[in-house]
């Protein structure tokens, strides 16, 4: 028969055995953790355990069992989890001070342990979400969201509009910027060598100091290559044919642009980007369904045959799971609405 490992609250054992002293035995056979000169006054180990079980044991139990399970499941990731926890702890100490951490977690070590276990929990949760991703979803994501690199040059004209600009001045500044964009496009239309002319115009007109001296070159760009400020520019670039330029003003939060698309690379193979796609889809699932985080840890505990032997704690755990799922669903519903 397979032996079952039972997790107990180790604090009681520590209190009873910690100093190597003989522990008084009470009349009912239990051991005392606190005794007085008056033999009728005492706190027994059983009383302490029952009090702890009522007030603190659920969180402690979950941490104890998850730590054992997660360290068994991810032996190669423990050092990284410890380093991440230490880094986060240092940052929190610097930001809030050690006293603030102690007031919330009881001790710095408790918070450090919480951070360490949380790192491993997040890995387990993501792995579970990845396991829920199917091939149909992967192929669909690849077709709709994976693009080849495009080599793009741009000319940026800023409007000069600020939050303090009056409506009248705003309209004037925007009109001036648009006129300048039209002037650039007109010169490109008349040029024999479009690319060479574009680069010359970038040096003359562009207000992007980082690229103007290099002919406005943004290099080979793709999703997430640049900040979100360039999303509209990238979208328009994908619509252009190679060796063509935009003939209408492109507006971003940076200002107005003219772009030239030099070339398009070959799209990365599915095998090359599959791991990234699976992780993106897994994170989408976690965002859309918060209950998946709870289910992930339940499944991992079940994998290791976790069984709560104490009936009261078993009921508390069941209520905790049910309440957590209900809360997660309510949060998801509020987000959707």
Question: Which residue ranges make up each domain of the chain?
Answer: 7-55, 62-131+289-313+321-331, 147-264
Q: For the whole prediction, is pTM greater than 0.85?
A: no
Using H for helix, E for strand and C for coil, what is the string for the chain? CCCCCCCCCHHHHHHHHCCCCCCCECCCCCEEEEECCCCCCEEEHHHHHHHHHHHCHHHHHHHHHHHHHHHHHCHHHHHHHHHHHHHHHHHHHHHHCHHHHHHHHCCHHHHHHHHHHHHHHHHHHHHHHHHCCCHHHHHHHHHHHCCCCEEEEEEEECCCCCCCCCHHHHHHHHHHHHHHHHHHHHHHHHCCCHHHHHHHHHHHHCCCCCCHHHCCEEEEECCCCCCHHHHHHHHHHHHCCCCEECCCCEEECCEEEEEEEEEECCCCCHHHHHHHHHHHHHHHHHHHCCHHHHHHHHHHHHHCCCCCCCHHHHHHHHHHHHHHHHHHHHHHHHHHC
Q: What is the pLDDT along the chain (337 residues), one digit of tens a residue?
A: 444 544 444 444 334 444 444 555 555 556 766 666 776 776 677 776 777 666 677 888 899 999 999 999 999 999 999 999 999 999 999 999 999 999 888 899 999 999 999 999 999 999 999 999 999 999 999 999 999 999 999 999 999 999 999 999 999 999 999 999 999 999 999 999 999 999 999 999 999 999 999 999 999 999 989 999 999 999 999 999 999 999 999 999 999 999 999 999 999 999 999 999 999 999 999 999 999 999 999 999 999 999 988 888 889 899 999 999 999 999 888 887 7
What class does CATH assign to 147-264? alpha beta
């Amino acid at each position: 028969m397979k032996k079952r490992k039972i997790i107990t609250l180790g604090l009681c054992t520590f209190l009873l055995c910690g100093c190597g002293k003989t522990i008084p035995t009470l009349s009912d056979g239990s051991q005392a953790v606190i005794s007085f000169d008056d033999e009728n006054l005492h706190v027994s180990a059983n009383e302490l355990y029952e009090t702890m079980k009522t007030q603190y044991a659920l969180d402690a139990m979950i941490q104890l069992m998850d730590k054992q399970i997660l360290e068994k499941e991810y032996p190669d990731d423990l050092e990284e989890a410890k380093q991440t926890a230490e880094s986060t702890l240092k940052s929190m100490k610097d930001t809030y001070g050690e006293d603030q951490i102690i007031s919330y977690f009881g001790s710095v070590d408790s918070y450090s342990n919480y951070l360490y276990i949380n790192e491993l929990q997040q890995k387990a949760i993501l792995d579970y979400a990845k396991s829920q991703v199917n091939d149909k979803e992967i192929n669909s994501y690849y077709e709709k969201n994976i693009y080849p690199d495009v080599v793009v040059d741009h000319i940026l004209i800023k409007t000069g509009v600020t939050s303090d600009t009056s409506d009248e001045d705003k309209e004037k500044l925007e009109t001036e910027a648009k006129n300048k964009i039209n002037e650039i496009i007109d010169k490109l239309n008349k040029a024999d060598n479009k690319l060479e002319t574009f680069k010359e115009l970038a040096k003359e007109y562009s207000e992007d100091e980082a690229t103007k001296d290099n002919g406005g070159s943004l290099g080979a760009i793709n999703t997430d290559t640049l900040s979100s400020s360039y999303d509209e520019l990238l979208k328009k670039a994908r619509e252009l044919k190679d060796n063509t330029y935009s003939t209408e003003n492109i507006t971003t939060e940076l200002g107005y642009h003219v772009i030239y698309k030099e070339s398009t690379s070959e799209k990365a193979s599915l095998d090359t980007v599959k791991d990234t796609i699976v992780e993106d889809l897994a994170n989408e699932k976690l965002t859309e369904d918060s209950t998946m985080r709870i289910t992930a840890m339940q499944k991992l505990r079940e994998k290791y045959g976790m069984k709560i032997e104490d009936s009261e704690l078993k009921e508390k755990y069941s209520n905790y799971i049910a309440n957590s799922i209900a809360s997660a669903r309510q949060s998801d519903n509020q987000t959707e609405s």
